[in-house]
Structure 1
């Protein structure tokens, strides 16, 4: 019976969106945002293709994956998952655009860029946030002592990543723009090599690399996101997939909530089961976890921060087309779980 209720609910939603020429765009948007009321049942044979990134910013997802929480929760609704790893958010976006993935998790900016380019995606939850988990690093011996000193210098970051947004904000505070530095577009691993071989003057990078490089004495933090950038990591689903498979979305979020509870109650175990995924020691992993708060909740501060990223990115030209955040952020799934 629950299975049929689920099918009917999804069908009714589809009919509401596709029906009659007399429906206004506002009516269609309202129908698309109808509350998720069916939270139990089966979606037999559904497959969730997860596009992952091996960074401790997403520790909760890796805990859920490594400890089998995702498989367990999906199996309860008759579904299963596949798992493919990518080196950055922009590469995840490419996989989603090529219809090779249904779910991507990443930082705020690459998700916003994808949406601004017309991708059929919706943010359904937070993963984590942390102002100190993203930073500008310089070699320990560098003469650079302020962001203003970066003018004319070679600065490496992954274009389209949330590192680009932090750097743009930091430069703006000094009356500078991205055009005032020599941009070198490198992925995270390439940035480490470039910094340690003095090929660039600075890098803008995230954890695990901040802890790894500073602990080894190879770099120091010039500036991080403290007081500037909340640094939200989010989950987005392909909207059409989520509409068709709401029980899969809810099962995935349940798995993450289980992982979040473990991180809070037993951070040592969380570090133990994930540190090898990120190429750092267990002790380094424990340090990294202190710089992040893991939660699926999307509260007012999170939504404000993500919206500010969008507004700033539009202002400085990182994105060309604006994004309707009311349509982009879809809290229906986490709201449904919170009512259980």
Structure 2
């Protein structure tokens, strides 16, 4: 993976530049309770029921882990629409984002739907401030089920008796549980092998025979098949919806009036960036998957085609209802406390996104 190009210097408000900061190991490993790297003075206290402020204080810095949107903003020129100062962290995925939150090294992260639930269950109070979904999600799954060489799995019922890679606190773990339910199976019908899905851990686990099946993000499907298809490695569709994507933040961040105002501006431009990605898939594939992620051009094209087109809901009612179903499933299957997701979503930002999309002429 190639880190984003670093920029230096800051201009005055209304046209600030955006330095890219790769979070250091020191930032991410600070003991809980100690101040992290890159933070600034806390702003005025803001009640969660209060209206969002119009703009942050001049010296407010928003620390964001959202490499895909960073790339889209730079490619599209939408970064000129941001009047806040953003410090970009080259960090993504649930575990790393949550670790950065707990080390006070990040204000806002882009993840799937499970990390915000897992954060709540493990003692970090968070709020979802934006959501994105896929058009025709069953036709364009975020994950494929990778099947190890020599293993016979052609359809979901064939999962019975198989060893399946499972990460309870990540979206991949939720996919596994939903796939089992779709197949009419339970956890007792398979062997769940717990392991974190980071980098190419699942790919290696499939190739070594450590597991029979593993959910693979679309960016991992091309390298997996390139390496193991000749030996019999395959993939099948999960047959369940797995497309939810969110921006979330520690609750204490949006209780800071200046940070809340900064996030307000960020999500408005973030929504436009998601629309730009949907309208410019080839340009985004080149800029993000090839130049940022280091993938081959053919693999990058395959990923954007597999993922399909994104849309940004301006009414979160259905999003929250689907997320609630997943939270209820995980609470049951993982023996966790039930969550009321009406409390997880901060719908003040829903209105901000709706206004931004409407002003752009989008839908």
TM interval, short-chain normalised:
0.7 to 0.9
Partner residue, 1:117: 122
* 1:48 corresponds to which of 62, 65, 76: 62
CA contact (8 A) 1:66 1:274 kept: no
Q: Determine if the alignment matches structure 1 residue 199 to structure 2 residue 194.
A: no
Partner residue, 1:236: 248
* Residue pairs, 1:75-90, within 5 angstroms: 76-77=83-84, 79-86=85-92, 88-90=93-95
Query: C-alpha separation between the residues in 2 aligned to 1:61 and 1:164?
Result: 27
Query: C-alpha separation between the residues in 2 aligned to 1:60 and 1:292?
Result: 17
Partner residue, 1:313: 330
Partner residue, 1:143: 152
Describe the shift of the 1:295–1:249 C-alpha distance in structure 2 as closer, same or farther (beyond 3 A): farther
Alpha-carbon offset, residue 141 of structure 1: 4.5
Alpha-carbon offset, residue 161 of structure 1: 1.0
**What whole-Å deviation, never above 9, does each CA across 1:274-321 have from its counterpart, x for those lacking one?**
113334223322332232443443533322221111111111126x12
Q: Pick which of 269-278 and 135-144 moved more.
A: 135-144
Q: Which runs of 5+ in 2 are unaligned?
A: 1-42, 357-363
Task: Report the TM-score when normalising by structure 2.
Answer: 0.73
* 2:266 corresponds to which of 231, 252, 271: 252
CA contact (8 A) 1:230 1:305 kept: no
Alpha-carbon offset, residue 121 of structure 1: 1.0
Q: Determine if the alignment matches structure 1 residue 160 to structure 2 residue 169.
A: yes
Partner residue, 1:299: 316
Alpha-carbon offset, residue 42 of structure 1: 4.3
Task: Report the TM-score when normalising by structure 1.
Answer: 0.77
Partner residue, 1:185: 195
Q: Which runs of 5+ in 1 are unaligned?
A: 1-9, 18-31
**What whole-Å deviation, never above 9, does each CA across 1:107-135 have from its counterpart, x for those lacking one?**
11121111233322100111344441112
Q: Please identify which structure carries the higher helix content.
A: 1
CA contact (8 A) 2:271 2:312 kept: yes
CA RMSD of aligned residues (A): 2.8
**What whole-Å deviation, never above 9, does each CA across 1:216-235 have from its counterpart, x for those lacking one?**
662422332x4x32420100
Describe the shift of the 1:43–1:207 C-alpha distance in structure 2 as closer, same or farther (beyond 3 A): farther
SS in 2 for 1:137: strand
Describe the shift of the 1:238–1:287 C-alpha distance in structure 2 as closer, same or farther (beyond 3 A): same
Partner residue, 1:27: none
SS in 1 for 2:237: strand
Q: Pick which of 229-238 and 288-297 moved more.
A: 288-297
SS in 2 for 1:231: coil
